Amino acid sequence: MTGPKHVVIVGAGIAGLTAALALAQKGIASHLLEQAESLEEVGAGLQLSPNATRILDDLGLADALAGRWSEPDHILLSSGSSLAPLASVPAGAAARRRWGSPYGVLHRADLQAVLLDAVRREPLCTVTSGVRIGQSRQIVEIAGDKGDLVIGADGVWSRLRHEVKGALPARYSGNIAWRFMLPLGDAPACLNPRTVTAFLGPRAHLVAYPLARRGVFNIVAIHQCGHAPAENWSSEGDEAARTRLAGAFSGWHAQLRRLVEAAETPLMWPLHESPDGPWTDGRRIVLIGDAAHAMTPFAAQGAAMAIEDAAGLARHLAGAADLPAALGRFERERRQRVGRVRARGAFNRFAYHARGPLALGRNLVLSLRRPESLAADFDWLYGYRMPD
């Protein structure tokens, strides 16, 4: 065997679309199955760090994305109570110089549109939408006659995960993210249109960055919540949920408190994560992205890890003489990388939501770090390049 000739990809989100393009670059055809009738504009903003934009550039998408994203000058950590800056990591031109690729922010739908357009122009890729699948076994049966391999890119509540023995369902992380947009002209003075800013507070933090093409700030307010909501992507939340949101930011600076309280139709996203477990059945099914290792956004690496997975899988499959062995190598390589990113996210969760003496200590340590020194802490993450 010289590697798969044709694969089926379940899910046409960022992971699935990127995988289709990466596989096509290696001469491998793919058929994407998507349950939605049409791939509409959904989701919110996202950050694409250099480790992800480097791969998208390699896929020939840099020019298309350049007109859709903006490159913030800095990534700033600030106090949620006083608005005082705590630390700053250079981005913008500095990111290009240090890590060799841009740090971009854009709407998730804009990235998906660029990926989908490229997939539709690629002769080796086909997409079928509106595929309603009730059981995971049905997916395997549908894919059985169409490909040598089935790639599960169907998100945090993946049905394909049920076909991988030992893979456990996603679990609620104890945190809720509220997402909403704010017109640039309506933003308070504390929001900088050239910066990704994370405001930190006890048991909560708020991230704001501009989506310049749309003329808005993307706002994400995350707070700890022991009340586990229903298992879904997003909802407007009931009155009790909005009360908990307001309470989580009640001790914050008035500008940010009013921002949260006045948000129009914010969407509540319960944050789920996947327990550690296998990503492949060792034969013909492999999981990537959130289907394999859904993580909370404390390191802003969810989309980036999906993009890395896609490129890494394509590299391991190209010319593989033994498919199960190739899947095993892919999983081992990516598990080590994703594990380190998860650890960084766990550290950020602790640091961002610290309170009392721990928060004072955090602020003191950050105040002693120069921007260039902080940037060096991200070399392993943002400067990552796929192994040969």
Q: Which residues are annotated as catalytic?
A: 209
Q: Tell me, what DSSP letter sits at residue 7? A: E
Distance in angstroms (rounded) separating the CA atoms of residues 320 and 168:
28
Indicate the angle between helix axes 50-58 and 92-99, nearest 10 degrees.
70
One-letter amino acid at 355 equals R
CB count, 10 Å around CB of 276? 12
Q: At which residue do the structure tokens 């994370």 appear?
A: 198
Are the C-beta atoms of residues 288 and 15 closer than 8 Å to each other? yes
Distance in angstroms (rounded) separating the CA atoms of residues 77 and 87:
5
3-class secondary structure, 200: strand
Instruction: Looking at the chain, list the stretches that DSSP marks H as alpha helix, in order from N- to C-terminal side.
Output: 14-25, 50-58, 62-66, 92-99, 108-121, 136-144, 239-248, 254-261, 290-293, 302-317, 323-352, 357-367, 371-376, 379-382
Are the C-beta atoms of residues 71 and 92 closer than 8 Å to each other? yes
